[in-house]
Amino acid sequence: MAVNQIPISYVINVNIAEQPAGLAPKQLSTLLILTEDTPVSPLAGDYIIARSSRTVEQNFGTGKASTNMAQVIFSQNPNILANSGYVIVAPYKEEETTAEAIARLSTQIYFEGILTTKDLEDEEAGEASATVEATDDQIFFLPSSDVNALQTSNGLFYKLRSNNQTKCLLYTYGADDDTKKANAKLFAAAYASRGLSVNYSGSNTCITMNLKDLTGIEADTNITETILQQCSDLGVDCFPSIAGLAKVISNKGDGLYFDQVANRIWLTSTIQTNIFNVLATTRTKIPQTEQGMNLLKSAIYDTFDQAVTNGMIAPGKWNSSDTFGNLEDFHRNILETGYYIYSTPVTEQAQAEREQRKAPLIQSAGKEAGAIHNSDIMIYLEA
């Protein structure tokens, strides 16, 4: 006679809920080298990834422009490896412009910095700069060995002076024009590796490029005070001899200092990823309430706390007329912590936005820590 057994799940049902997937942070400190070099053997895809110059040499050959760039990149101390970065080397397609190559590869892999072995004419350089400027997370390192790039009205660097995501670099040292052009590209590679070496997870890791050393790069002794002033006016960085020492001079001009651009890429991309992951990894939902908004804002608080730790943000006085939220809280928070975060109350949200399940606007303000680049000193003596 059959004996019926009622499963225990009739009374108790147990399931294991798997953690929903989120996005990994963007891999900053990655450098794309667009190359005219022909690979030693056909590549498996459109590019290779390299964490040493040896890998590039094996794929493109000894003494090639891309190999030389990689050697300079990995020679810097510290370099992109300090933030788990790597080099991406990709050959140009036939008759492809630099702007087209950047757009093509951006759909395949993320890279923060962009270098090229190509001698760019002004028009192609301008198109590439415009392509990168349209993004919010890339930097184009554009070197020149020609001081005419500094000329008012028609110089390349003058035309691009407001493109914050293009770092214009002047390096004119060399025995002849070809050598100067090659050296300028190596200077850009060294600069990019040193500049993108910041590990934002650390403490006091943010840097300025001003007065930094570059391994393997000689001082550009062609830089005069007049040229240096022109670089300063246009925000062009260079590598002159300062009292006999080869040092980077970092300039702002009409735009931002290089470290500001790189730091802002980290801050905005980190907040974007963290907020996405709050929404994506919640098994149920984030309610459209103040409690739900606090969950979103906590991810921003965490990011700004790390920005204070790594040295990007610091307490200070807010001097701009742009404020929001509670004015007293705004100024107090900036003065005490370096940042302020505010969201429009849910009760004040437009009904149309609520029906679209859109969060009320979150606004944040931070005081950049800045960096000291120079100083005037007065000494009073009395006999």
Domains and CATH numbers, the chain: 31-262 (3.40.50), 264-366 (no CATH)
Indicate the angle between helix axes 258-280 and 290-310, nearest 10 degrees: 150
Indicate the angle between helix axes 53-60 and 65-75, nearest 10 degrees: 170
Burial of 151 (0-12, 13-18, 19+ CB in 10 A): middle
Neighbours of 354 (CB within 10 A): 13
List, in sequence order, every beta strand (DSSP E) within 157-226: 166-170
pLDDT beneath 50: ranges in the chain:
none
pLDDT of residue 16: 83
Span 314-334, pLDDT tens digits: 999 999 999 999 999 999 999
pLDDT of residue 9: 86
- Tokens found for residue 233: 């006016």
pLDDT of residue 3: 81
Alpha-carbon distances of 181 from 7, 31, 241, rounded to whole Å? 78, 20, 19
Residue 87, beta-bridge partner list: 31, 50
Alpha-carbon distances of 207 from 90, 92, 212, 290, rounded to whole Å? 29, 33, 9, 37
Contacts of 222 (CB under 8 A, 6+ apart): 172, 173
- The SS3 assignment for 376 reads coil
Neighbours of 137 (CB within 10 A): 18
Burial of 295 (0-12, 13-18, 19+ CB in 10 A): middle
- The SS3 assignment for 77 reads coil
Q: How many CA atoms lie within 13 A of 302 on its CB side?
A: 14
pLDDT of residue 199: 98
Contacts of 30 (CB under 8 A, 6+ apart): 80, 85, 86, 87, 88, 110, 111, 112, 113, 196
Alpha-carbon distances of 98 from 162, 171, 290, rounded to whole Å? 20, 21, 47
pLDDT of residue 299: 96
What's the rounded Cα separation, in Å, for the pair 302 and 273? Answer: 12
What's the rounded Cα separation, in Å, for the pair 219 and 215? Answer: 11
pLDDT of residue 346: 95
Specify whether the CB–CB gap between 362 and 296 falls below 8 A. Answer: yes
How far from each other are the two terminal CA atoms of the chain, in whole angstroms? 119
What's the rounded Cα separation, in Å, for the pair 328 and 129? Answer: 41
